[in-house]
A and B are shown apart, each in its own frame.
Chain A
Amino acid sequence: MSSEAAAHHDDHTPSYWSWKRWVYSTNHKDIGTMYLVFAILAGIIGGAMSGLIRWELAEPGLQVFNNGFWGNSHNYNVITAMHGLIMIFFMVMPAMIGGFGNWFVPLMIGAPDMAFPRMNNISFWLLPFSFSLLLLSMFVPGVGGDNGFGGGWVMYPPLSTSGHNGPAFDLVILSLHIAGVSSILGAINFITTIFNMRAPGMTLHKMPLFAWATLVTAFLLLLSVPVLAGALTMLLTDRNFGTTFFDPAGGGDPIMFQHLFWFFGHPEVYILILPGFGIISHIVSTFSRKPVFGYLGMAYAMVAIGFIGFIVWAHHMYTVGMNVNLKAYFVAATMIIAVPTGIKIFSWIATMWGGSISFRTPMIWAIGFIFLFTVGGVTGVMLANAGVDQAFHDTYYVVAHFHYVLSLGAVFSIFAGFYYWYEKIFGVKYNEMLANIQFFFFFVGANLIFFPQHFLGMAGMPRRYVDYSDGYAFWNMVSSIGYVVMLVGMFFFLLVLVESILLRNTPKRRPEANPWGESATTLEWTLSSPPPFHQFNELPKIK
């Protein structure tokens, strides 16, 4: 398990089986590994929930939530709300920022560890508690006699205030507060690390793009999560202490929650995707055997996306009755995001152009990402139009759009990064054939799930309903079959993990420091796989 190289470098490497190593951990690589394991577990739970959703929606009528074991249609709403919250806060964010960010930001910038290792430990260990509270909320009363919070991940009042009188939503608030503290502490850690601990000679303009992506993401977290915390606290006091921030009877306005929520919520969706942008840049460059096209443009495109992400929030709420001039502003500002995003897409393509491309597993995932993210981006430009959105708001067209950019975009980039760094993280090679089969099932399955949802949305099928009219039956069935295909892919993913654990001692699986060749130029490839427990005791010098 513990590689000989690591043991050789540093005699203080604790055993894998010592619980103190993990609970007291201040090592960025160990904490990163814990984040990744946490994200996989949360992803399995959140993915199982989407299975219940697709099972229910496979046919018209009530299949699953028919007052039987799985409860009634309120429980369907609970499952969709929890699916969203889990996938965002407990799967994508821990994997991208906590997992890959912790592992590779210090390695890439040539730092021995994060700036505040103990704070890093707290950031991680807050998450299991937060997650437990969220799961617990499903089993305490939400509305009347029904358990759980069924108000969607957006948690709009009055459904989340007077509409849910039980304690379930209070647990959700507490859970998200803790997750928010965890994210903010993590963000501060990344900002400090990147500003103060870069190796000598590594200027910001020489810094790898993944570190750039994490830096921008950390700033987005730092500025947006406190607003969510504020809005959630207002919900909490509205519910329990008689304030009326969102209650018209006391002079409040429920629409204001939507403004506050989306001021957080829109940067949040960039928080979910920006680290993926960084990962994809490295992979495309490595497997095209070329430096990334337009490095500075790539870095500043992310900065621009981050900045513009803060001034477009009301495009999520075109239907609240805002006036046409305001809509015109939000339409224009939203569409401008397509410019820096286009710079990134075209730069990836230009990186591949004329390159000597090898279609290894991470590259396949990366190309899949570029294609799927572009599809999601195009439907995003559609939805940016206030007039069009009037019809598409809260239909399955929106569901299809954000799953293309997140469920396919962000998740594909996570898998791309996972297979890119697998050897580096776990110190064992994986079976490329199995991983490629997983890609095949994921690609076919995910498209089968979400592409038909465009048709359903255009035909007017609304989100967040447990049932639908018979006219939507066909494409819903196709979508549910897609889920089964993706589920098969998920089994191949677990197979990859199990197979590589079982065969870890065979010579074929012995890790290399740099399996990808000389086009993998970032500093993590100069270290052994897995890296020594403490690296860069002598700081690397960057020319």
Chain B
Amino acid sequence: MKFLRDKNTRVLTICLAAVVTMVGMAYAAVPLYNLFCRVTGYGGTTQVAEADTGQVLDRTVEIRFDASTDHSMPWVFEPVQTKMTVHIGESVLAYYRATNPTNHPITGVATYNITPFKAAPYFSKIECFCFTEQTLAPGESMDMPVLFFVDPDLDETARLDDVRIITLSYTFYEAESDETNISSAGPDRGTASLD
């Protein structure tokens, strides 16, 4: 019986270790998922670069600019230019304009991606307002810069030969703070049921 008990304890220990590992894996998925998106450009995740490569090609792409806000975010947010044609490799500065129409300061944070997704590994941002949180005073309006270039490697890749247009997209959310947490938990944020 002693023998069986030891064997049982061993299986039990291994099983519990498997359970703990799987819970750990679920949490490890968070940074891994993030890393995976950055490395592969999955879901249109753009790249971050220190500077452009210095190489500028004749081939051009049209960049279109898209802006939206979360439903609970009161800012008015729109691109200054709707589209521009750029040479591949050329560093380009574009602006988005955000206005806080309310009478209290609001801090926002933007998420971003580009379409087509497959061009994301070749779309590099040098500077972007989306890297940090932005705060607008009541009634304040601000032009927010994004400095980017399209990596010349894009031209080397046959799979991307059909890329003529790249759409750059931002969504502004209200950054979580203690006060906003309470207001966003109010009943007015109840989601759609059908009635």
Which residues in A have some Cβ–Cβ distance to B below 8 Å? 67, 72-74, 77, 115-116, 143-146, 150, 158-159, 162-165, 184, 187-188, 191-192, 195-197, 222-224, 226-227, 229-231, 234, 242, 244-245, 247-251, 253, 255-256, 259-260, 321, 323, 465-467
B193 touches A260 (CB 8 A): no
1/0 contact trace for B165-191 toward A, CB 8 Å?
000000101111000010011110111
Out of A72, A230, A247, A467, which one reaches B23, CB within 8 Å?
A: A230
Q: Which of B22, B43, B117, B187 has the most CB of A within 10 A?
A: B22
Q: Which of A187, A247, A253, A255 has the most CB of B within 10 A?
A: A253
Name the CB-closest residue of B to A321.
Answer: B43
Q: Which residues of B contact A247 (CB under 8 A)?
A: 176
A323 touches B193 (CB 8 A): no
Q: Report how far A260 CA is from B34 CA in the complex, Å.
A: 14
A323 touches B194 (CB 8 A): no
Say yes or no: A256-B173 contact (C-beta < 8 A), given A230-B23, A242-B181, A466-B194. Answer: no
Out of A195, A230, A234, A466, which one reaches B11, CB within 8 Å?
A: A195
B4 touches A197 (CB 8 A): yes
Out of A115, A163, A231, which one reaches B191, CB within 8 Å?
A: A163
Q: Which residues of A contact B7 (CB under 8 A)?
A: 195-196
Q: Which of A77, A145, A162 has the most CB of B within 10 A?
A: A162
Say yes or no: A249-B26 contact (C-beta < 8 A), given A143-B191, A196-B11. Answer: no
User: Could you tell me the dominant secondary structure of chain B's interface residues?
Assistant: helix
Which residues in B have some Cβ–Cβ distance to A below 8 Å? 4, 7-8, 11-12, 15-16, 18-23, 25-27, 29-30, 33-34, 42-43, 70, 109, 111, 117-118, 171, 173-176, 181, 184-187, 189-191, 193-195
B194 touches A73 (CB 8 A): yes
Name the CB-closest residue of B to A249.
Answer: B173
Q: Report how far A116 CA is from B11 CA in the complex, Å.
A: 11
21 A-B contact pairs sorted by A residue (CB < 8 Å): A72-B193, A72-B195, A146-B190, A159-B191, A162-B191, A165-B185, A188-B15, A188-B19, A191-B15, A192-B15, A195-B7, A196-B7, A223-B18, A226-B21, A226-B22, A230-B23, A242-B176, A244-B176, A245-B30, A253-B33, A323-B118
Q: In the complex, how many angstroms separate the beta carbon of A198 from the nearest chain B beta carbon?
A: 11
B195 touches A74 (CB 8 A): yes
A249 touches B175 (CB 8 A): yes
Q: In the complex, how many angstroms separate the beta carbon of B128 from the nearest chain A beta carbon?
A: 14
B193 touches A184 (CB 8 A): no
Task: Tell me the number of A-to-B contacts counted with CB atoms below 8 Å.
Answer: 124
Q: Report how far A260 CA is from B33 CA in the complex, Å.
A: 11
Q: Which residues of B contact A162 (CB under 8 A)?
A: 184-185, 189, 191
Q: Report how far A245 CA is from B29 CA in the complex, Å.
A: 10
Q: Which residues of B contact A67 (CB under 8 A)?
A: 195
B187 touches A145 (CB 8 A): yes
Say yes or no: A226-B26 contact (C-beta < 8 A), given A73-B194, A196-B4, A465-B194. Answer: yes
A165 touches B189 (CB 8 A): yes
Say yes or no: A116-B8 contact (C-beta < 8 A), given A74-B195, A159-B191. Answer: yes
Q: Which residues of B contact A165 (CB under 8 A)?
A: 185-187, 189-190
B26 touches A260 (CB 8 A): yes
Given contacts A73-B195, A195-B11, A259-B33, 6 further A-B contacts (CB under 8 A): A67-B195, A165-B185, A184-B19, A226-B22, A230-B25, A250-B109
Q: Which residues of B contact A164 (CB under 8 A)?
A: 191
Q: In the complex, how many angstroms separate the beta carbon of A394 from the nearest chain B beta carbon?
A: 15
Q: Which residues of A contact B22 (CB under 8 A)?
A: 222-224, 226-227, 230
Q: Report how far A197 CA is from B29 CA in the complex, Å.
A: 36
Q: In the complex, how many angstroms separate the beta carbon of B7 from the nearest chain A beta carbon?
A: 5
Q: Report how far A244 CA is from B111 CA in the complex, Å.
A: 13
Q: In the complex, how many angstroms separate the beta carbon of B28 from the nearest chain A beta carbon?
A: 9
B109 touches A249 (CB 8 A): yes
Q: In the complex, how many angstroms separate the beta carbon of A263 from the nearest chain B beta carbon?
A: 8
Q: Report how far A162 CA is from B173 CA in the complex, Å.
A: 13
Out of B26, B33, B173, which one reaches A230, CB within 8 Å?
A: B26
Q: In the complex, how many angstroms separate the beta carbon of A202 from the nearest chain B beta carbon?
A: 15
Q: Which 10 A-B pairs have the closest CB atoms?
A: A230-B26, A249-B173, A163-B191, A226-B22, A74-B193, A144-B190, A73-B194, A144-B187, A188-B15, A143-B190
Name the CB-closest residue of A to B194.
Answer: A73
Q: Which residues of A contact B186 (CB under 8 A)?
A: 165
Q: Which residues of A contact B118 (CB under 8 A)?
A: 323
Q: Which residues of B contact A163 (CB under 8 A)?
A: 189-191
B117 touches A323 (CB 8 A): yes
Q: Report how far A153 CA is from B151 CA in the complex, Å.
A: 44
Q: In the complex, how many angstroms separate the beta carbon of B73 from the nearest chain A beta carbon?
A: 9
Name the CB-closest residue of A to B186.
Answer: A165
Out of A73, A158, A222, A253, which one reaches B15, CB within 8 Å?
A: A222
Name the CB-closest residue of B to A143.
Answer: B190
Name the CB-closest residue of B to A197.
Answer: B4
Q: Report how far A251 CA is from B133 CA in the complex, Å.
A: 11
Q: In the complex, how many angstroms separate the beta carbon of B195 from the nearest chain A beta carbon?
A: 5
Q: Report how far A159 CA is from B181 CA in the complex, Å.
A: 16
Name the CB-closest residue of B to A326.
Answer: B42
Out of A72, A230, A242, which one reaches B27, CB within 8 Å?
A: A230
Q: Report how far A101 CA is from B159 CA in the complex, Å.
A: 53
Q: Report how far A163 CA is from B33 CA in the complex, Å.
A: 24
Q: Report how far A85 CA is from B176 CA in the complex, Å.
A: 32
Q: In the complex, how many angstroms separate the beta carbon of A162 from the nearest chain B beta carbon?
A: 6
Name the CB-closest residue of B to A248.
Answer: B111
